[in-house]
Amino acid sequence: HNELSPIPSQEVSAFGEDGEGDYLDDWTVVCSGTYWARDSEVRFKHASTDVFLSVTGEQYGRPIHGQKEVHGMASASHNNYWRGMGGLF
């Protein structure tokens, strides 16, 4: 959402309750083919701002142990590939 971020990129947050959010919660899946194939990497591109959902390994403030900072980056890079994982967590 339109909040100041401590990092030089777009702040990413979840908004709303019970499935109700706003247009700033809309992301598009970008994959190499027509469909998102199992075990393939995809990117998530914000529908309004065109930033890519990214993880660089940086941590700010006091994050939950083992958690990474997720933010929006203006350009595609190796930091914004995502892959579906199976399992129980």
Cα–Cα distance between 12 and 25 in angstroms, integer? 9
Cα–Cα distance between 12 and 82 in angstroms, integer? 16
Cα–Cα distance between 42 and 66 in angstroms, integer? 23
Cα–Cα distance between 78 and 63 in angstroms, integer? 23
Interval 6-62: pLDDT, tens: 555 666 766 777 877 777 788 899 998 888 887 889 999 999 889 999 987 776 666
Residue 76 has pLDDT above 90, yes or no: yes
Cα–Cα distance between 9 and 72 in angstroms, integer? 6
